[in-house]
Structure 1
Amino acid sequence: MDRREMIKTSMGVAAMTVLGIPVAAKGAGAVATDKKKILVIGGHPDDPETVAGGTMCLLAAAGHEVVSVYLTHGEAGISGKSHAEAAAIRTKEALAACEVIGSRPLFMSQIDGSSEINQARYLEMQEVLSAEKPDVVITHWPIDGHRDHANCGLLVLDAWKRLGRPFELYYFEAMSGSQTQLFHPTDWVDISDVVDQKHKACHCHVSQGMEDVLVNWHIPMERFRGLECRCTYAEAFVHHTVPGSLI
């Protein structure tokens, strides 16, 4: 299947499903009868919202359980602030963003800028996913110039395999071309109807200079992905369907 056909197939059921999950038909006002749990796992407060916030809004509005998982508290994300001060500010911002989206926040214990991949961290991610029992997980594409993003994606990928692939796994992009590299989507989600809600959630992250971040990075990407699938704004994902082997 070439790229044009793949996009056509991906968007063909977009009015009724988001990443294969049932949602209300456009304008119908109905909610899901088969409730699913979706975990969106990002390296920092603001990652889930900026890269998959529209998809999260659609799923939450349809009655599904959406969980915003943050690998770190964003400890290194505010110049001139200590780790403790920055973590407190960014945690508060993330909680506000979750309120806008309708998601439940869940914070893990890694440190912004110093995330690790080791046996203990592998087990930690497995424990979180085992406890939450999601139907779908969306996380960072592992080929990313930001260590926390790459580590987050690899930890989730390893847990998915070790746990026997019990959920559908998708990857999102974060500032493609600058951070995320070699990202070739398999699925697109039309977020045109909820883009204002998504941006409202993003603007909760005041400490991150979100106005400039949205204007210079995320809105252009939303429009570009929208052009790919013939809508105004979209988010794109890679669906991991090849199981691979464990060594």
Structure 2
Amino acid sequence: MNSISRRAMLGKASLVGTTVAVGLPLAAAETPVQQRPEVGTKLKVIVTGGHPGDPEYGCGGTIARYTDLGHEVVLLYLNRGEWPENPSLDDAKSVRIAEAKRACEILKARPAYAGQINGAAIVDSAHYEKFQRILEAEKPNLVFTHWPIDNHADHRAISMLVYESWLRMRKRFALYYYEVSDGEDTLQFSPTHYVDITSTEPRKRAACYAHASQTPDKYYGLQEMITRMRGVESGHKQAESYIRHVQSPDFMLPMAS
């Protein structure tokens, strides 16, 4: 076998490296562009959250944009917001359910529940199957869920349940991740998509404040800072941002008319 010098080997390696580096932008350029649905197409959108209030805080403006366009939106909460150690568990659950119902009325959405307990989320084979059955019954075109790098266990749990269902359902719905309470909950979130919520922010605010038991004065200020920052990034007054899974179908987010 012919010997090869170290210098020649390094030279060949540099050529290979150059070829790969040049090829990367071409691969990125092949990312599919979102296509506008046919006029009159009604979409089914599911926004999942660890607790009542999470979808409203993370996606409330986008939800309002969808329902204003005539699309059906379901807010699917992992639990009803009750705490297992609370002696008045049923009372807490009733309060949170009533608040979620009011928030959904404001956004023209429908509430639904996955049946778990606040702070005691379970992610196992049985719950994967149960959650998949919920999504199979709803037949969504798009699903939004928590970004999985998150400090709250319930947020991580529903994100995993959604992702496993997406895989089992052969990636047939568009999958978007949203942020909530960045720094406190969501971490390392770098958006790929934005939705202008300037016109729907008042309804988002009202929906969040419908969760009166959850001290919205404390939390909404942080979320508003985030929407203003995302607005600066995207050229709007206020915006919500998302990460679309790279293998997800391209169902378009609401855009300005």
Find the counterpart in structure 2 of residue 170 from structure 1.
176
> CA 1:108/1:37 → structure 2, altered by over 3 Å: closer, same or farther?
same
SS across alignment from 2:136:
helix
Find the counterpart in structure 1 of residue 82 from structure 2.
75
Q: Look up the equivalent residue of 1:51 and give its one-letter code.
A: G
- Computed over aligned residues only, the root mean square deviation of the Cα atoms, in angstroms, reads 2.4
> Unpaired runs of 5+ in structure 2?
1-23, 249-257
Q: Look up the equivalent residue of 1:50 and give its one-letter code.
A: Y
CA distance in 1, matches of 2:186, 2:36: 25
1:64-84 deviations in whole A, cap 9, x for unaligned?
A: 00011111000129x976322
Extract structure 1 runs of 4+ deviating beyond 2 A.
19-23, 79-83
Q: Is 1:159 the equivalent of 2:178?
A: no
CA distance in 2, matches of 1:211, 1:21: 37
Q: Is 1:36 the equivalent of 2:43?
A: yes
Q: Computing the radius of gyration over CA atoms, which structure comes out larger, 1 or 2?
A: 2
Find the counterpart in structure 2 of residue 140 from structure 1.
146
SS across alignment from 1:241:
coil
Q: Is 1:107 the equivalent of 2:113?
A: yes
Shift of 1:176: 1.3
> CA 1:199/1:163 → structure 2, altered by over 3 Å: closer, same or farther?
same
CA distance in 2, matches of 1:65, 1:20: 19
Find the counterpart in structure 2 of residue 231 from structure 1.
236
Deviates more, 1:80-89 or 1:47-56: 80-89
Q: How many residues align?
A: 220
CA distance in 1, matches of 2:37, 2:57: 23
CA distance in 2, matches of 1:175, 1:198: 15
CA distance in 2, matches of 1:120, 1:208: 31
> CA 1:229/1:237 → structure 2, altered by over 3 Å: closer, same or farther?
same
CA distance in 1, matches of 2:53, 2:35: 25
Find the counterpart in structure 2 of residue 64 from structure 1.
71
Residues 48, 68 of structure 1: 8 Å contact kept: yes
1:93-149 deviations in whole A, cap 9, x for unaligned?
A: 000000000001111110000001011110011101110000000011111110000
Please, what TM-score do these two structures have when normalized by structure 1?
0.84
Find the counterpart in structure 2 of residue 193 from structure 1.
199
> CA 1:124/1:209 → structure 2, altered by over 3 Å: closer, same or farther?
same
Q: Is 1:52 the equivalent of 2:65?
A: no
SS across alignment from 1:38:
strand
Shift of 1:22: 5.3
Q: Look up the equivalent residue of 1:108 and give its one-letter code.
A: A
Shift of 1:179: 0.9
> CA 1:121/1:202 → structure 2, altered by over 3 Å: closer, same or farther?
same
SS across alignment from 1:198:
helix
CA distance in 1, matches of 2:190, 2:87: 37
Please, what TM-score do these two structures have when normalized by structure 2?
0.80
Q: Percent identical across equivalent pairs?
A: 39
1:211-231 deviations in whole A, cap 9, x for unaligned?
A: 22112x111001011010011
Residues 75, 82 of structure 1: 8 Å contact kept: no
Shift of 1:199: 0.4
> Unpaired runs of 5+ in structure 1?
7-12, 14-18, 24-31
Shift of 1:177: 1.6
SS across alignment from 2:78:
strand
